[in-house]
Structure 1
Amino acid sequence: MKIKPLLFIFVLILFTFLVGCNSNNQTSEENGKLTIYTTIFPLEDFTKKLGGDHITVISVYPPGADAHTFEPSTKTMSEMASADAFIYTGVGAEGFADKAKNVLETENVKIVAAGNGIKLLNEEDHDHEHDEDAHEEDHDHEHAEDAHEEDHDHEHGEDAHEEDHDHEHGEDAHEEDHDHEHGEDAHEEDHDHEHGEDAHEEDHEHGKDAHEDGHDDHTHTDGDPHVWLDPTLAVVLAENIKNALIELKPEATEDFEKNFTSLKEELEKLDAEYKETIESAETNKILVSHAAYGYWEKQYGLEQISVTGLSPTQEPSQKQLTKIIETAKSNNIQYVIFDQNISGKIADVVKNEIKAEALTLHNLEAVTDNDIAKDADYFSLMRQNLETLKKALN
């Protein structure tokens, strides 16, 4: 007896839901505006600045979201399916994007990879990691020689020396360590301190294969995705967005081009400010909660000492954590820099150990409620970061 009423209610709810999903698109058609969905905040902000009155921009991310782990709801995906375009980085910043774009393409939504054409940094491109690797290799080499001599002079000669190495790493692993800094022995040690072989492969400091896995299995990138933090690369993001808008609404080309010229000039000015600030600073080293600032290293000569990897979920081993603390102390680093939307428990350990002050850098992946209340944009947040750098580097 109750089946028909229940069925009617279900159909009514479904109809209401579908109407709601399509309301944005209907409004877009009525007022002549394009409806664009975006991911990380710089894409949202650039799209608004470029599109002006010709578009309506909606961010997939709620305030304070973590781009590395965020997954949109079914309702959000349905709304995105009625949009004119979906703009994402295309460089591995958004874990859900590959799945989403496959669905949206079937709904004739234009998919725009704003990072198209940008060459991503790999771990080995970071100069400080080369320096640290070289330092570690020298340390290991010196330690091996000292231990070898000490064993000969103070313990039991050559046999004792070999026995010590067999106990710690095994004879074969000792020989391999001299040839490969991150070889089998390092893998076995990480296995003890982290979560086994899979954790080793995810660790950003242990080789190319590990780096290619990246971002806690939510992304598919073989490089650092934080390209928007470099104003020169942000120009590329903006230009790709501008070109997509022209394709979607060619009659507004003149406005889009004019807005892009203005945006590019502002980005070039911001780049000059970062260059001047970092080059004139007393030091070039910062201690950060996660390795989001590799492009500042390449562009401006900054050196980041990171507590976690490219994704904040990539936690360091005990050996790496000890090394970070030692490096911070040896460089007299007084600040640990956290992201605005990430709770860094391990970074807190480092901060307490070196008696440092906590600072904040905004990774711009998503804005906070406070940012929205202040009507923050890409440039205000990047200049806010610049003030943080001035304090940390002087």
Structure 2
Amino acid sequence: MKRLSLFLAVLALFFTLAGCGGEKGKRGQGSEKLTIYTTVFPLEDFTKKIGGKYVHVESIFPPGADAHSYEPSTKMMMKLADGDAFIYSGAGIEGFAEKAEKVLREEGVKVVKAAEGVALEKHEEENPEEEGHEHGEEEHGEEGGHEHDHHDHEFDPHVWIDPVLCIRLAENIKEALADLKPEQKSYFEENYTKLKKEMESLDQEFQQTIDQAPHKQIVVTHAAYGYWEKRYGIEQLSIAGLSPSQEPSQKQLARLADQAKKLHIRYVIFEENVTPKVAEVLRKELKAESLTLHNLETITEEERKADKDYFALMRENLQTLKKALYD
């Protein structure tokens, strides 16, 4: 990530020479909307729901982007530096964000780690040569010489798929908005309370559906669903690691295929913005059907036009799980 580090250093120098932080103190006062930039889609959605009429919210991720590898353009960094706040998960998926944080703070931007205070699940990488573990194995380290700047996913960053953990994300967002616009604290608190109740209801829907399922195993393209494993008791048999680029070795893939056959797995679950060839190979070998889960990192233009929110997409995911676990 040397290129990004150099870019940020140059950008910081530009900001210093241009003096572009001078008007920060005037933003967000009175009826003026706060300008908030976010990363993964749930943070955008929660910020809109909590901030309501007092915020303008924009995700920096383009439709279909891979949050694991995204790097902002110079134009986007300029926009971030001119905003009131930048909200990112802080769970390790946005490799660029921690490097950008110092520059943005110096420009008077409030930087918020939405997952602050969330106990992240530690992800244990497997040795590809080991035979004892039957699922969730990933190649560790650098693929093709590409450096990963998200801590090689020591911890699972996909916290937003767990509605209970999302309550903490929403609370941290609410507190940040209240700091920026304290005169509207009660308004933000009221919206947060409504959001929290929706999260609790969604959690119950997931719990009841999965509790009653005749089996708990699903084959997925990458290991993005560990928080469902802990919360609801499903078992993800993942083809790739926590990042879609962490593809399995031939030995790992063969082992996964054998396990899926023993479990009579009928579906391989793909993701809307991830279509790895190796997953299609496995699907054909298993003679399985395809299903789709939404990882919620980003949404498509069509989904945005249809005004789909976090809850709509999560309930679509729940229907996918129900088919996979009940058939």
Matched, 1:48 2:52: no
SS of match in other structure, 1:381: helix
Q: Which moved more, 1:96-105 or 1:270-279?
A: 96-105
Q: What does residue range 71-220 of structure 1 map to in structure 2 within 5 Å?
A: 71-124=71-124, 186=129, 205=137, 210=140, 217-220=148-151
Partner residue in 2 for 1:359 = 291
Q: CA deviation at 1:287?
A: 0.3
4+ runs deviating over 3 angstroms: 21-31, 204-207, 210-213
Following the alignment from structure 1 to structure 2, what is the Cα–Cα distance between the partners of residues 348 and 24?
50
Partner residue in 1 for 2:202 = 270
Flag structure 2 segments of 5+ consecutive residues without an equivalent: 1-17
Change (3 A) 1:384 1:22: farther
Q: CA deviation at 1:102?
A: 2.0
Partner residue in 2 for 1:310 = 242
Amino acid at match of 2:226: G
SS of match in other structure, 1:313: coil
Change (3 A) 1:78 1:353: same
SS of match in other structure, 1:337: strand
Following the alignment from structure 2 to structure 1, what is the Cα–Cα distance between the partners of residues 30 and 156?
41
Q: CA deviation at 1:28?
A: 6.0
Amino acid at match of 1:186: E
Superposition RMSD in Å: 2.9
Q: What does residue range 18-37 of structure 1 map to in structure 2 within 5 Å?
A: 32-37=32-37
Change (3 A) 1:306 1:238: same
Partner residue in 1 for 2:276 = 344
Q: TM-score, normalised by structure 2?
A: 0.86
Amino acid at match of 1:74: T
Partner residue in 2 for 1:173 = none
Change (3 A) 1:246 1:29: closer
Q: CA deviation at 1:30?
A: 8.7
Following the alignment from structure 2 to structure 1, what is the Cα–Cα distance between the partners of residues 141 and 53?
41
* Aligned pair partner of 2:302 in 370, 385, 392: 370
Q: CA deviation at 1:222?
A: 2.3
Q: In the alignment, is the contact (CA less than 8 A) between 1:216 and 1:311 conserved in 2?
A: no
Q: In the alignment, is the contact (CA less than 8 A) between 1:216 and 1:313 conserved in 2?
A: no
Q: In the alignment, is the contact (CA less than 8 A) between 1:229 and 1:363 conserved in 2?
A: yes
Change (3 A) 1:62 1:30: farther
Q: In the alignment, is the contact (CA less than 8 A) between 1:212 and 1:222 conserved in 2?
A: no
Following the alignment from structure 2 to structure 1, what is the Cα–Cα distance between the partners of residues 103 and 281?
42
Q: CA deviation at 1:393?
A: 0.5
Change (3 A) 1:121 1:383: same
Q: TM-score, normalised by structure 1?
A: 0.71
Following the alignment from structure 2 to structure 1, what is the Cα–Cα distance between the partners of residues 277 and 103?
36
Q: 1:77-104 CA distances to partner (integer Å, 9 max, x unpaired)?
A: 0011011100000011112111221221
Number of residue pairs aligned between Structure 1 and Structure 2: 302
Following the alignment from structure 2 to structure 1, what is the Cα–Cα distance between the partners of residues 321 and 52?
32
Q: 1:190-227 CA distances to partner (integer Å, 9 max, x unpaired)?
A: xxxxxxxxxxxxxx7379xx4899x9613135210000
Partner residue in 2 for 1:250 = 182
Partner residue in 1 for 2:10 = none
SS of match in other structure, 1:271: helix
Amino acid at match of 2:129: A
Q: CA deviation at 1:374?
A: 1.2
Q: CA deviation at 1:368?
A: 0.8
Change (3 A) 1:121 1:27: closer
Q: In the alignment, is the contact (CA less than 8 A) between 1:86 and 1:111 conserved in 2?
A: yes
Q: CA deviation at 1:58?
A: 1.0
SS of match in other structure, 1:392: helix
Q: 1:151-174 CA distances to partner (integer Å, 9 max, x unpaired)?
A: xxxxxxxxxxxxxxxxxxxxxxxx
Following the alignment from structure 1 to structure 2, what is the Cα–Cα distance between the partners of residues 377 and 291?
23
Change (3 A) 1:331 1:343: same
Following the alignment from structure 2 to structure 1, what is the Cα–Cα distance between the partners of residues 111 and 193?
23
Following the alignment from structure 1 to structure 2, what is the Cα–Cα distance between the partners of residues 390 and 96?
36
* Aligned pair partner of 2:214 in 260, 279, 282: 282
Following the alignment from structure 1 to structure 2, what is the Cα–Cα distance between the partners of residues 224 and 60?
22
Q: CA deviation at 1:373?
A: 1.9
Following the alignment from structure 2 to structure 1, what is the Cα–Cα distance between the partners of residues 185 and 307?
27
Following the alignment from structure 1 to structure 2, what is the Cα–Cα distance between the partners of residues 317 and 382?
31
Percent identity of the aligned residues? 54
Flag structure 1 segments of 5+ consecutive residues without an equivalent: 1-17, 130-181, 190-203
